[in-house]
Amino acid sequence: MFEQDSYAIQAKIKRGFEVEKENENHSKFINALRDQEREMHKQQEDLKHTIKQKDKEIERLHGKADSANIYGRTLEKEISDLRAEQQRLNDFLNSGKNESLKSEHRKNNAEIEILDL
């Protein structure tokens, strides 16, 4: 009987050590999971920060694109105005040439009339 009691006590002690080892393993596993959770939370915060930076960069680039579009429209208007001015000057030059040619033609006709006299 003493032997059976001794064997039962040893079995309980052995089982106690096994449970203690299992608990220790579970504790390590839980701590590892907590570490992973903290690391994932840190990564999530880093990603949120990166997203905010990218959003700011997108806003800045939208502003630049808007400025470039406005500048493009301004240049188009200036080009259109310059083309109109060039056409006006060409018309003026052509009318001046026409007047000069007409004047030269009248002068030549007058000289011919004088020579004919």
Render pLDDT for 29-78 as a digit per residue (tens, 0 to 9).
999 999 999 999 999 999 999 999 999 999 999 999 999 999 999 999 99
Q: Output the pTM of the full model.
A: 0.53
Q: Is the pLDDT of residue 117 over 70?
A: no
**DSSP annotation string for 49-116:** HHHHHHHHHHHHHHHHHHHHHHHHHHHHHHHHHHHHHHHHHHHHHHHHHHHHHHHHHHHHHHHHHHHH
Confidence at 111, pLDDT banded by 50, 70, 90: low
What is the pLDDT of the chain when averaged over all its residues?
Answer: 89
Confidence category of residue 109, pLDDT binned at 50, 70, 90: confident
Looking up tokens 């997108």 gives 58
Residue with tokens 């011919």: 112
